[in-house]
């Protein structure tokens, strides 16, 4: 995500952005000292809360819903809650929240069409731990299996392959970011002697592309991979919760298909102060020895309560409304950018708007945009309002004119390679 920022003047506010979190207070922890008075500690925290509120006004690039209210859960900060071990077996630690956790897992199992007695799962510390767990299940099924994943996959998938000492084959994608099944087919045929462990992105981090699960299964069949020789994991990071709530969309993620596991981030769509995730797999894969050993030993007891609370408070009808609203606002942003002559792309069933990257690093930081090569993205979550989007577009257009001045001529970046010629506004493709 490295960008080479063009020359710019730095305002005071921008300088604040340059520090890790705008926290200029002296946070150093001394040795050989007595405790700090409560008033001093509270002052530091209050100042920090103030800076967080400031940053939240322009928080556009990260797929975390910041629109939540968990005031009712504040009394739970009095306790260390620990769900160590298997949530279904129960933990020896009496201060746990496994009852909440199992309710949350049942809800996700139902969402993804698998019966209570057919699944195993747990609430994890995030999407990555959920993927770690799922891919380990796949590897335990097929110790010599090859991990296939698209080049648009999150870098953690490649890191997991290295950690687990698995052979990993990177599969090409279309400009949309979706896995190219023709390339997958060629790779599968090239490695027919080894079982296939396939990680699918539902959807990708940068472009919000959804790999076609049905087409991948068809490709496996066509290349002679019988069901006892492949394992499919669906990495549902952000969209794993959203897609089932699309009225018109087919059941993209469903255990009625021959998939082995699904993971999702808990904090992304539902919103949660701390990162968390969910992994659901088929109980048949979990033998006695692996059941009691989740990836992390001690497991957060608060995260399942946050998730339970969010689901209960919204209700599925509330969730559906939020999904529809995010998609509508993403379309609004996409239209506004396109109308203004800025190259942009929005995949179907996605709230991730990809566009020509701003040339000013400070502008990107100010709006917390995630950038990669020539493109940037905004993830239109629940806290992103039309008003925020309008401010963003107005400021972008204003600044953009200046950047091009610096470069001597008004010449939009060509992003055809990243998002296709049809979505590019450069002089050649416009």
Q: Catalytic positions, please?
A: 350
Which of 52, 169, 175, 426: binder of its own copies (CB under 8 A)?
A: 52
Separation of alpha carbons 283 and 89, rounded Å? 13
Contacts with 88 (C-beta within 8 Å, 6 or more apart), sequence order: 98, 102, 120, 291
Applying the rule CB under 8 A, the residues between 180 and 219 that interact with its own copies are: none
Least Å distance, CB 71 to its own copies, is 7
- Nearer Cβ to its own copies (146/414): 146
- Nearer Cβ to its own copies (106/180): 106
Is residue 325 involved in binding its own copies (CB under 8 A)?
no
- Nearer Cβ to its own copies (136/188): 136
Which of 7, 250, 297, 408: binder of its own copies (CB under 8 A)?
A: 297
Q: Token digits for 129?
A: 């731990």
Applying the rule CB under 8 A, the residues between 147 and 186 that interact with its own copies are: 154-156, 159, 163-165
Is residue 284 involved in binding its own copies (CB under 8 A)?
no
Tell me the β-bridge partners of 372: 375
| Antiparallel, parallel or unpaired: β 352-356 and 375-379 | antiparallel
Applying the rule CB under 8 A, the residues between 389 and 428 that interact with its own copies are: none
Is residue 75 involved in binding its own copies (CB under 8 A)?
yes
Tell me which H or E stretch contains 318.
Answer: helix 302-339
Separation of alpha carbons 421 and 404, rounded Å? 21
- Segment interacting with its own copies (CB under 8 A) among 38-46, 185-193, 254-262, 348-356: 38-46
Q: For the chain, first and last CA: distance in Å?
A: 26
Show the DSSP H helices in 209-255 as ranges: 213-222, 239-242
Applying the rule CB under 8 A, the residues between 91 and 130 that interact with its own copies are: 91-100, 102-104, 106-107, 110-111, 125-129
DSSP string, 289-302: HHHT--SSSS-BSH
- Nearer Cβ to its own copies (321/427): 321
Is residue 358 involved in binding its own copies (CB under 8 A)?
no
Give the x-and-dash track for 18-37 against its own copies (CB under 8 A).
-xxxxx---xxxxxxxxxx-
Least Å distance, CB 336 to its own copies, is 23
The answer to whether the CB of 19 falls within 8 A of the CB of 367 is no
Least Å distance, CB 54 to its own copies, is 9
Helix then strand count (H, E) for the chain reads 14, 11
- Nearer Cβ to its own copies (260/275): 275
Least Å distance, CB 150 to its own copies, is 17
Tell me which H or E stretch contains 225.
Answer: none
The answer to whether the CB of 310 falls within 8 A of the CB of 68 is yes
> Other CB atoms closer than 10 Å to residue 102's CB: what's the count?
20
């Amino acid at each position: 995500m490295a960008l080479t920022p063009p020359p710019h003047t730095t305002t005071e506010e921008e300088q604040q952005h340059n520090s890790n979190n705008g926290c200029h207070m002296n946070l150093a922890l001394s040795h050989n000292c007595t405790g700090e008075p409560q008033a001093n500690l509270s002052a530091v925290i209050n100042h920090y809360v103030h800076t967080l509120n400031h940053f939240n006004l322009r928080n556009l690039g990260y797929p975390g819903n910041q629109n939540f209210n968990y005031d009712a859960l504040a009394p739970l900060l009095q306790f260390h809650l620990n769900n160590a071990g298997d949530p279904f077996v129960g933990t020896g630690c009496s201060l746990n929240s496994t009852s909440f956790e199992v309710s949350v897992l049942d809800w996700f199992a139902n969402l993804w069409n698998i019966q209570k007695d057919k699944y195993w799962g747990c609430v994890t510390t995030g999407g990555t731990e959920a993927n770690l767990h799922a891919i380990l299940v796949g590897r335990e099924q097929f110790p010599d299996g090859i991990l296939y994943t698209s080049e648009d996959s999150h870098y953690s998938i490649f890191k997991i392959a290295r950690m687990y000492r698995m052979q990993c084959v990177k599969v090409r994608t279309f400009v949309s970011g979706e896995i190219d099944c023709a390339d997958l087919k060629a790779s599968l045929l090239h490695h027919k002697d080894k079982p296939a462990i396939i990680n699918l992105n539902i959807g990708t981090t940068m472009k919000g592309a959804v790999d076609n699960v049905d087409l991948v299964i068809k490709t496996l069949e066509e290349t002679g991979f019988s069901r006892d020789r492949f394992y499919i994991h669906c990495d549902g990071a952000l969209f794993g919760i959203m897609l089932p709530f699309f009225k018109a969309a087919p059941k993209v993620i469903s255990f009625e298909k021959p998939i082995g596991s699904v993971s999702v981030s808990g904090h992304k769509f539902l919103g949660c102060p701390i990162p968390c995730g969910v992994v659901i797999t088929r109980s048949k894969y979990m033998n006695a020895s692996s059941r009691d050993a989740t990836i992390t030993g001690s497991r957060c007891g608060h995260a399942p309560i946050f998730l339970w609370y969010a689901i209960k408070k919204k209700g599925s009808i509330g969730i559906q409304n939020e999904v529809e609203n995010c998609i509508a606002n993403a379309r609004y942003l996409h239209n506004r950018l396109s109308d203004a002559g800025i190259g942009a792309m929005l995949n179907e069933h996605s709230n991730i708007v990809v566009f020509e990257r701003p040339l000013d690093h400070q502008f990107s930081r100010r709006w917390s945009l995630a950038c990669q090569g020539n493109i940037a993205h905004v993830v239109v979550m629940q806290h992103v309002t039309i008003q925020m989007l309008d401010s963003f577009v107005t400021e972008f257009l204003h600044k953009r004119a200046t950047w091009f001045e610096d470069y001597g001529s008004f010449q939009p970046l060509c992003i055809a390679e990243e998002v296709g010629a049809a979505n590019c506004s450069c002089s050649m493709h416009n």
